[in-house]
Structure 1
Amino acid sequence: MNSMGQPIRRGIGGFADGIKYFFQGLGWVARHPRQWLFGLIPALIALALYIVALVLLGTYAGDLAAWATPFADGWSAGVRDTVRILLGVVVFGLGLVLAVITFTAATLVIGDPFYEKLSERVEESMGGAHTGPDVPIWRSIVRSVRDSLITLAYVLMFTIPLFILGFVPVVGQTVVPVLGAAVSGFFLTVELTTLAMERRGLSRKQRFALLRGDKSPALGFGVLVFLVFLIPFGAVFAMPAAVAGATIMVRVRLAPHHPAPAPSDH
């Protein structure tokens, strides 16, 4: 049973529960439009930064390709230009993939105080928020950056091989997109559930263990969020709902009985 007395479903049922949590988060921000607007601020800041970075990458992708292929200088112009154009496209494609993967982490780092408050308000509306240890904002941001970099390293371990396999005929157009969505979705859930889990005093390793132990809702929630984030500007407008949904999932299913440690007297 979860914290609401409902049976815990696994497999396809658990996957469907994960999808349900996102829609519950969407419903929550729809009922609290001011909180949705509040949560848009860091997402819009992150979007502006990513647009600038991608424009710069697109502008200089050809120069990067030329720099990476000095051995092609003596080739015929047609072959050399074709190779460098293709390499430039690959470089920009990797940049887009990294942008999708890292946008959530970057937005959460930029908007840590915003989303921490949003997550608390979601829990307060459900009967009271867990009160975590009093941590200075700068320390919270440093910890968030560190954990995001570790998560990114895990993501790249899967994403780079999948990106290369994407060029394999048939497999690259069938199996790879499904695996890519699953991997990206799982790690999106890792990022989005961090706020609510940290309030419960859970370390990064404990958070990973909880999510690995209950993969079905983590995948259902994360894959849907990943697909929504692929829609132009979807990551911006859906971020507050994703934070709210992740908070609900943690409270109801993933860590309903994990109180935060009592504050130290020191």
Structure 2
Amino acid sequence: MKRMRQIVRELVAGASLVPRGFAFWRQRPGVMALGMVPAVIAGALVGIVLIALGLNVEALAQVVTPFADGWAERDRGVLRTLLALTIVAGAIIGTVYTFTTLTLLIGDPFYERIWRAAEQQLGGFSPSPVRFWRSFGDGLLLVLRALGYALVTALVGLIPVVGSVAAAVLGPVLAGHLIARELTTRAFEARGITAADRSRLLRGSRARELGFGVATQLFFLLPGGAIAVMPAAVVGATSLARSVLDRAVRDRAALDSAALEHDAGAPPPPA
């Protein structure tokens, strides 16, 4: 029970970083407004693709089922209707990850300005120069990770009876993890922390990371929510990275203290 309460507190603490990020609008409204641009561009691109798919999904179902042309009209219609519905459902699932990935890729230079402003506001760290554009390798890894998450979510959705509910829960969780991981990368990289160490640090604060990421993703479900929340999420991710680092320092200090106490209480070695 104590462990469960601790997890809930961590989830709430992570989720609270998102609304706290909105407070940064008062300090740097111009920089925050600029951070809305990537979500607008990504939303427009995803919207165009979805509209085009919706208008042509029946034709697409016919193209991929030429073997059914000789079937009875009813059987052919049932097959292609089910296929069209599957395509639409897959597109909706993919939209969660596509929009998130596009926003993160497009927003890299925009979000760097917000991150620098947030670091300066929080104090205690002077941001060093980092890459202006995300490297090809990092961008490719982000896309592959998003595709993997989308595939897992789609496969879960195929489970009979509980699949649709499970996928509806799993989608925001995985997308939230993706957001938290990517938005904290800049703060970690600026401190010289490697990718392996970043993963280890975030695992030590998994509940807080998920609380932040899922809260951000849930804002995406609101009309216009993604456009408004991404600048605040960058500020929140900066605070998240700092809290993760602070926890690692405290945990290390506690381990060192425990080791010293153990050594002090150990019997002296035999003469």
Shift of 1:115: 0.4
Quick check: 2:62–2:80 contact (8 Å CA) kept in 1? yes
Q: How many positions carry a matched residue from both structures?
A: 244
1:16 and 2:12 correspond: yes
Counterpart among 188, 203, 222 of residue 231 in structure 1: 222
- Contact 1:189 1:221 survives alignment (8 Å): yes
Q: Secondary structure at the match of 1:75?
A: coil
User: Aligned residue for 2:49?
Assistant: 53
| 1:116-157 per-position Cα deviation (integer Å, ceiling 9, x unaligned) | 11111011101154434543x35x342441231232244135
* Secondary structure in structure 2 of the residue aligned to 1:255: helix
* Equivalent runs, 1:224-263 vs 2, <5 Å: 224-251=215-242, 253-256=243-246
Partner of 1:160: 154
Residue type matched to 1:178 in 2?
V
Deviations 1:49-107 (A, max 9, x none): 11112122222222222222222212222221232122112212212221211322211
Q: Which of 197, 203, 206 is the aligned partner of 1:212?
A: 203
Q: Which residue of 73, 79, 89 corresponds with 2:85?
A: 89
Q: What code does the residue aligned with 2:156 have?
A: L
Distance 2:6 2:191 in 1: 24
Runs of 4 or more above 4 Å deviation: none
TM-score normalised to structure 2 length: 0.80
CA deviation string 1:182-241 (max 9, x = no partner): 222222212222222222223333323322232101111111111111223211221111
- Aligned pair partner of 1:114 in 102, 110, 116: 110
Give yes or no for contact 2:184–2:237 (8 Å, CA) kept in 1.
yes
Identity of aligned residues (%): 35
The separation in 2 between residues aligned to 1:154 and 1:203, in whole angstroms, is 23
Gaps of 5+ in 1: 1-8, 259-266
Give the secondary structure class of the aligned counterpart of 1:217: helix
Question: Are 2:38 and 2:103, in contact at CA under 8 Å, matched by a contact in 1?
Answer: yes
Alpha-carbon distance change, 117 to 68 in structure 1, aligned in 2, over 3 angstroms: same
Q: Are the structure 2 counterparts of residues 70 and 63 from structure 1 closer, same or farther at C-alpha, using a change threshold of 3 Å? A: same
- The code of the aligned residue for 1:83 comes to L
Q: Match of 2:86, as an amino acid?
A: V
User: Is the 1:18–1:249 contact (alpha carbons within 8 Å) kept by the matching residues of 2?
Assistant: yes
The residue aligned with 1:182 is: 173
Q: Is the Cα–Cα contact under 8 Å of residues 46 and 98 in structure 2 kept in the other structure?
A: no
Q: Would the aligned equivalents of 1:130 and 1:200 in 2 still touch at CA under 8 Å? A: no
**Partners of 1:173 and 1:150 in 2: how far apart?**
23
8 Å CA contact 2:172, 2:217 repeated in 1 = yes
Q: Specify the code of the residue in structure 2 equivalent to 1:90.
A: T
Structure 1 residues 177 and 211 mapped into 2: Cα distance closer, same or farther (>3 Å)? same
- Find the aligned partners of 1:95 and 1:154 in 2 and give their Cα distance: 15
- Cα gap change, 1:65/1:22 in structure 2, threshold over 3 Å: closer, same or farther? same
Contact 1:210–1:254 (Cα < 8 Å) also in 2: yes
Please report how far the alpha carbon of residue 18 of structure 1 lies from its aligned counterpart in structure 2 after TM superposition: 0.6
Of 145, 167, 185, which residue of structure 2 is paired with 1:151? Answer: 145
Amino acid at match of 2:149: V
Write the letter of the residue equivalent to 1:152: A
TM (normalized to structure 1)? 0.82
Report the secondary structure of 2:86's partner residue: helix
Moved more, 89-98 or 149-158: 149-158
